[in-house]
Amino acid sequence: MIVPEAARARTQAVATRRNSEERSMSTAYSPTELPQPTEDWDQLRADLDEHGYCLLANALSPAQVETVRGRLLDQAAGEMADGIAFRDGGPVADDGTPPPNQRVLNMLDKGEEFHQLLLHPIVDEVVCHLLGNQVISSSVTANIANPGGQPQALHSDQGYVDIPITDAVVCNTLWMLCDFTAENGGTNLIPGSHHWNRYPDPVDDYSKCIGLEGPVGTACVFDGRVWHGTGPNRTQEPRIGLLNYWCRPWLRQQENMAASLRPETVATMPERLLQRIGFQVYGSLGNIDPAPDQQGLLVDPGKPRVGRRSVP
Ligand SMILES: O=C(O)CCC(=O)C(=O)O
């Protein structure tokens, strides 16, 4: 999730301190204490519940990684060339040079390659375990953490929820499109922080923060309450991640899918995908006029609207 400026400033100093202390922090856990990449769904759900994240091994085949990453990098280069790239990962330099990292937003509208990720078994098996089976996509974005990028302020992806924070209302699926290491910007994350019932503060002890690691093709699901942020990239290669942000069906989506997807994109989407992007009515929410005939049906964005009427 892209963090509002005020929250970023509040915790940036701490994120930087954590960066300088990273070596000692990485020894805070024994090697097997934390979730390891696995294909065992029960283990994945247990890891998510206990630690606030889990790692699905081989979530994408090498061919799938190639396809998804290829389209992403092509799109990212195109947005850069057109001068419309979204940049973060540090301040704008005095000479106007933008920060090194690049986000690519609204990815469902930028290639069918990304659509399949929303229909991956990880959604039913893990995401729905946390958020219920009517979960909807909140946003689909990429985060290319380039060399020199600074650590993102630690945050919770549901920082708009008042304390007490009882439940997760969102979560993320982070697809590793390259190897993730603590050196190349693997996500900074504090295991177990989803149970702390508060938000990061500069006085906090971040000694239990890790840099998320996993081989290319791994997918990490992390609870919306867990404290985390993009790590600093100290290598010479970009760290390429794609984020499927999910929310409960009654929560406003981060990307306004109905407005941000072009009609020609929506027209290519199968019913299951339309449900997953929030085109299905939930209770009385998400309706259009004329409403679908029955509860649970999909809204039809192509249907003529009722508009102004009267009796002549
Ligand atoms: O890309 C990452 O490592 C995490 C990104 C993140 O935390 C965010 O976008 O809120």
DSSP string of 290-312, one letter each residue: SPPSSTTPBP-TTSPP--S----
Q: CB of 228 closer than 6 A to ligand 1?
A: yes
Neighbouring residues of 93: CB distance < 8 A, sequence distance ≥ 6: none
Query: Residues 281, 282, 288, 290: what is their CA dihedral angle, to the nearest 10 degrees?
Result: 60
d(C-alpha 86, C-alpha 268), whole Å: 27
- Residue 166 resides in a domain: yes
- Cα–ligand 1 centroid distance for 40 (angstroms): 25
C-alpha dihedral sign at 288, 293, 297, 303: negative
Which residue, chain included where needed, has tokens 């301040």? 91
Q: CB of 103 closer than 6 A to ligand 1?
A: no
Q: Which domain holds residue 109?
A: 5-248
- Residue 145 resides in a domain: yes
pTM score of the predicted model: 0.92
- Cα–ligand 1 centroid distance for 172 (angstroms): 9
Which residue, chain included where needed, has tokens 């697809």? 175
- Residue 280 resides in a domain: no
d(C-alpha 189, C-alpha 53), whole Å: 9
Per-residue pLDDT 10s for the chain (312 aa) are: 655 544 444 444 444 444 444 433 456 788 789 999 999 999 999 999 999 999 999 999 999 999 999 999 999 999 999 999 999 999 999 999 999 999 999 999 999 999 999 999 999 999 999 999 999 999 999 999 999 999 999 999 999 999 999 999 999 999 999 999 999 999 999 999 999 999 998 778 888 999 999 999 999 999 999 999 999 999 999 999 999 999 999 999 999 999 999 999 999 999 999 999 999 999 889 888 887 766 567 888 778 889 999 999
d(C-alpha 247, C-alpha 304), whole Å: 29
- Residue 253 resides in a domain: no
- Residue 79 resides in a domain: yes
- Residue 229 resides in a domain: yes
Question: Which residue minimizes the CA distance to atom 9 of ligand 1?
Answer: 1
d(C-alpha 111, C-alpha 140), whole Å: 11
d(C-alpha 226, C-alpha 66), whole Å: 30
- Residue 308 resides in a domain: no
d(C-alpha 167, C-alpha 82), whole Å: 41
Q: CB of 186 closer than 6 A to ligand 1?
A: no
- Residue 152 resides in a domain: yes
Q: CB of 187 closer than 6 A to ligand 1?
A: yes
Strands 53-56 and 219-223: antiparallel
Q: CB of 229 closer than 6 A to ligand 1?
A: yes
Triad 243, 52, 220: Cα angle to 5°: 35
Domain with residue 223: its CATH number is 2.60.120.620
Number of domains in the chain: 1
d(C-alpha 149, C-alpha 170), whole Å: 26
Please give the number of the atom of ligand 1 that sits closest to the Cα of 145: 1
* DSSP alpha helix (H) spans, 239-308: 257-260, 263-266, 271-276
Q: CB of 239 closer than 6 A to ligand 1?
A: no
